[in-house]
Each structure stands twice: as structure tokens, then as C-alpha cells.
Chain A
Amino acid sequence: MGAKGTRKRKLTVHILRDRLGLKPSKELIETLKKQNEIKNKIFKAIKDEAKTVPEIAKETGLDTTTVFWYLMTFYRHGLVEEVGKTDEGYFKYKLKR
């Protein structure tokens, strides 16, 4: 059923899903779980303080490539902003309010 029970109309996505018996694959669900974990870790790390990719990686235990890839995805979706740059050539990023 649709959002919060207030919506009477069944969403077209659910009609299609039921009609064709569609289910997201196990891999997709696993990937989504991992993505949510990564997102939460990164957001927590840069919520109050701007940090570089190596700093975020160290704090979250994720590798720098993963941190940077997600950070740039969030940056382009307008969730993260850059705040200055270090002498070593790393930008600092912070969660947008």
C-alpha cells in the first residue's frame, strides 16, 4: 500500500511489481544495505566538522576510494559542500545543513 495509509490510490510501481511478480535481487538488497551503512558513516564523520577524504576514511574504516566516490555522489546531489583545501592538495568536505 502507498505512503502512510493516507494515500488511497495504489502506486503504479506496486501494480507493476504485483502484476509481473517482480522482486529486487538479493545482491541489490545487499548493495543497498552496504550503501546505507557507508552513507551513515560518512555523514556522521562530516556532520559537525569539515574533513579530508583520508581523514574520513581513517575515522570510518572505509577505504579512500569508496569514501571519495560516495562523497562526490552526495556532493553532486547537493548534500555535501567543500570547505577549503589543505597544503597537501586535499579538499575538506562537510555535510550541508
Chain B
Amino acid sequence: MGEIMEKILASAVEEKNEKEYDVLIIGGGIAGEEAALDLAEMGFKVLLVEKEPSIGGHMFLLSKVFPTLDCASCISTPRMAAVAHHPNITLMTYSEVKEIEKRGEGDFRVKILKKPRFVEESLCTGCAQCESACPVIVPKEYDFGLRGRKAAYIPFDTAVPKIAVIDIDHCIFCGQCEIACPVGAINFLQKPKIIKVKVGAIIIATGYKLFPIGRKKEYMFGKLANVITSMQMDRLLAPTRPYNAVLRPFDGKEPMNIAFVLCAGSRDRTVGNPLCSQVCCMYSIKQAQLLMGALPLADITIYYMDIRAFGKGFEEFYQQAKDMGVIFIKGRVAKIEPAENGDVVVYYEDIENGGRLKKAVHDLVVLSVGLLPNPDIAKAFKNVKLELDEYGWIKPKDENTNPVETSIPGVFAAGCIVGPKDIPDTVVEAAAAAAHVAAYLKEVRG
């Protein structure tokens, strides 16, 4: 967030009346959505708060999902719409939970900051005319910088809600968006608000953030255009992709010799993350298979330490990739350097051939980045402490028997905020958290 938005947010005024809900869910990724739908179906009134302009989390940005190769957005988009339309769910996007006070069992008082979009939600039709008119281009967050968006923009084609946002920190105050809007939805005088709510229970579903791989200098991310992250590759393979095909950012050429570097920012003490991120092996194998479909003549190499194919159907998925011709090389990548015409040299330790340092040239390198927690929400708790583990993941009350209960009775957690996991495990945990909330509310309310 930039200076101008900070200045505007500082003027937020607290609303007088307090609204009441049975449950507050923080985070609108697949974990938060599933928990919200389960509880809403049981008849509970749910408030779902998402900090970004759209719900969907990471899942709605993915191409397909391993190991079934089902289309990710075909699964997530109807779930997102169901959340938005359920009569028992109130959705607050572009909003942040600032303060949580526990007054007693089943009684949490919460303050939520609703940031201004500078667009009237009830008027905007998502037509994108403001975006066409706006002269300023900035990197698009939802495409992880692979292309640009405008300062007035629709967050994403399949965003829920599909309402424009003004990025006030990149605005030159020219007024073009306001003139172009056919329904007069743009309102720069919209104010930030602090909304007070009382809830009976809370589910934290704030998920993960990607490991900032620029920290591992040897991999040259941010320095070489043809070194990209796995999340960027998932975007390139998605139907809502930023380009017209799978192409190299360096010059728009179809890549013909692609490498994956596994454990980039995971299992690596030198960058402060010794943990395995659990999903990188499988999502890389997924991407390799999808690339073989999109670019049948391309060579795909995966550099790995071990392949952790532990889930149902995972080993078969791995074998299938080998049968399709994906080359697996056991060896940690030591460094990456530029070669000619945007190509990239990968130096690796060839473990199966005596551990010698070898090098290979590729025309696109994908860093299979690890997952880190999104634990900032812990700071919002005022008079009770939300326990985190030493890496910032939520510490369940009992890892073995009670993975969704936190250190605070009445506060539950689900999905990747508890630890890295795939979508099916996230959904199971969301259902468990919803069931625990129902039991807790029954107990405290009698």
C-alpha cells in the first residue's frame, strides 16, 4: 500500500451500530469458501472477510489440479458464486480484520476496516470501460506481474464480485475513468469505514504466500526474464492466461526446452525455510504434463532432491509424467546464469552420477517456489493469544487429534494457514473446522 491510500485509510470512521453474525471467517480462498458454505447450509449466519478485491485465493488462478487434471477455475468459480449468493453469507471483500477482542465464550467483538474501492459496488456492472479509459499501466498482481493492468481496473475476468477498483497510489487524477463510466459508479469521495461486529466463533483461513524467491540470489529471479515462478507458469497454462499462448517473457517465443527447479525456497536452511512445502513436487509434475500437451515438441526437465508423491494417485501421476517423456534429474540446482538470446544455464549437482557439478542450457526455467504462512491476523487478537509455531503457521491445540482447534477456544483454523497442503486436504480441513464451530456454538449457547 502506498502513501496516498495510507493517508486516506487513516481517516476511517467507526460505524456506530454493531452487526451480529454467528461466525466470522477470515480469508476467502477455497478453505474459507468451503467452511462458509458448510456453515451457511447448516443455517448459521456467516460473515466472510477477504482482504483482496476478489475471493478465490490461489485456487481460482490455477490452470488444472493434480492428479485429476480437472480445470481449477471450473471448480472454483461456481463455488465463489455460491458464496456470493448464499442468503446466509455476507461477503466483505477489500476489507481487513483489525481488532478481535474475546469477551467470553461465544462472544467475540471484531473491528473490520472496509477499504474504499472508489467505485460504488451497487452501481458497477463490471463493464471495464473505466479500465479502457485509464492511461496508467502497472503490473497486474493477479497475473504475478506477467502483464499490466490499469490504475482503474477489474481485478480479474472471473473475480467475485466483479467490481472495478481504483489504485489510488498510481492515479494521476485525470478523471478519464469517471468520465467513461456509463453508470456514474466511480466515486473518489468514498470513505474507508470501520465496521463493528459481534460473532460467536471465528475460522482463520488466511492461507499462504509464495516464498519470495528473489531472496535466493543464485537463482536470478527478477534479473533474468526467462526465470519465472511456478505460480507464473500456472497462470501461463490457465484458460484465463495473461498471454495468447505459453510463451517466454524474454521475447514471446514458444519455449522448447523447459526446466523445473524443485524445492526453490523450501527445505533450505540458507533462506530460513527448512520445511517441505508439500505441493511443489506434484504441481510441477502437473505443469510438466500440461506443457507436454501445450507444446508437444518441447523437452521438459525436472531437477529434484526427492519426489514426494505421497497422496492418492500421486505415484501413478509421477510415473505417467515419466512415461510421457518428462526427464527427471536428481540433483540440487546450485546456481543459474544467463546464456545467449535469453536462454538460461542451470548448474546442478548430478547425484546419480557421482555428485559432479554439471550444467545444462534451457530456454525457460520455472522455480517451484515454496509456501510461507500468512500469519498477520495473529496481531489482531487483543486480549487472547493466537499461538503460532516457530515458522508462523498456526499451532493447533493438538497436531494429532485436533488439527483445526487453535490455542483460543472458539477460534478455529483451516487450510494452508495451518501448514502447506493441497486442495483436497484443505477442503477436508474446512469441513472439519465448520463442524467444530457448529459443536462449539451448540455447547456455549446451550
Q: How far apart are the CA atoms of A22 and B4 in the complex, in Å?
A: 8
Known: A82-B244, A91-B244. A24 touches B173 (CB 8 A): yes
Of A28, A73, A82, which is in contact with the most chain B CB atoms at under 10 Å from its CB?
Answer: A73
Q: How far apart are the CA atoms of A51 and B342 in the complex, in Å?
A: 19
B85 within 8 Å of A (CB atoms): no
Partner of A90, one of B135, B174, B252: B252
- Contact B179–A16 (Cβ < 8 Å): no
Give the number of residue pairs across the A-B interface with Cβ within 8 Å. 106
Please report whether the interface of chain B is mostly helix, strand, loop or mixed according to DSSP. loop
A65 within 8 Å of B (CB atoms): yes
Known: A12-B188, A68-B249. A77 touches B4 (CB 8 A): no
| A11 contacts across to B, CB distance below 8 A | 175, 178-179, 188
| A89 contacts across to B, CB distance below 8 A | 253-254, 256
- Contact B147–A64 (Cβ < 8 Å): no
- Contact B136–A32 (Cβ < 8 Å): yes
Query: B238-251: contact bitstring with A at CB < 8 Å (1 yes, 0 no)?
Result: 00001111010111
- Could you tell me the distance in whole angstroms from the C-beta of B168 to the nearest C-beta in chain A? 8
Q: How far apart are the CA atoms of A76 and B177 in the complex, in Å?
A: 18
**Which residues between 12 and 28 of chain A lie within 8 Å of chain B, taking CB atoms?**
12-17, 20, 22, 24, 28
Query: B162-203: contact bitstring with A at CB < 8 Å (1 yes, 0 no)?
Result: 000000001111110111000000111100000000000000
Partner of B175, one of A3, A69, A75, A82: A3
| Minimal Cβ-Cβ distance residue in A for B242 | A72
B275 within 8 Å of A (CB atoms): no
| A77 contacts across to B, CB distance below 8 A | 131-132
- Could you tell me the distance in whole angstroms from the C-beta of B257 to the nearest C-beta in chain A? 11
- Contact B147–A72 (Cβ < 8 Å): yes
- Could you tell me the distance in whole angstroms from the C-beta of A77 to the nearest C-beta in chain B? 7
**Which residues between 268 and 321 of chain B lie within 8 Å of chain A, taking CB atoms?**
none
B392 within 8 Å of A (CB atoms): no
| A13 contacts across to B, CB distance below 8 A | 171, 173-175, 177-178, 186, 188
Query: B1-31: contact bitstring with A at CB < 8 Å (1 yes, 0 no)?
Result: 0001001100000000000000000000000
B67 within 8 Å of A (CB atoms): no
**Which residues between 65 and 93 of chain A lie within 8 Å of chain B, taking CB atoms?**
65, 67-73, 75-77, 82, 85, 88-91
B428 within 8 Å of A (CB atoms): no
- Could you tell me the distance in whole angstroms from the C-beta of A92 to the nearest C-beta in chain B? 10
- Could you tell me the distance in whole angstroms from the C-beta of B255 to the nearest C-beta in chain A? 8
- Could you tell me the distance in whole angstroms from the C-beta of B5 to the nearest C-beta in chain A? 11
Q: How far apart are the CA atoms of A12 and B189 in the complex, in Å?
A: 6
Query: Footprint of B on A, CB under 8 Å?
Result: 2-3, 7, 11-17, 20, 22, 24, 28-29, 32, 35-36, 52-54, 57, 64-65, 67-73, 75-77, 82, 85, 88-91
Query: Footprint of A on B, CB under 8 Å?
Result: 4, 7-8, 131-132, 135-137, 146-149, 170-175, 177-179, 186-189, 225, 242-245, 247, 249-254, 256, 342
What 8 new A-B contacts, CB under 8 Å, besides A24-B171, A28-B170?
Answer: A11-B188, A13-B175, A65-B251, A69-B147, A69-B148, A70-B137, A73-B148, A75-B243
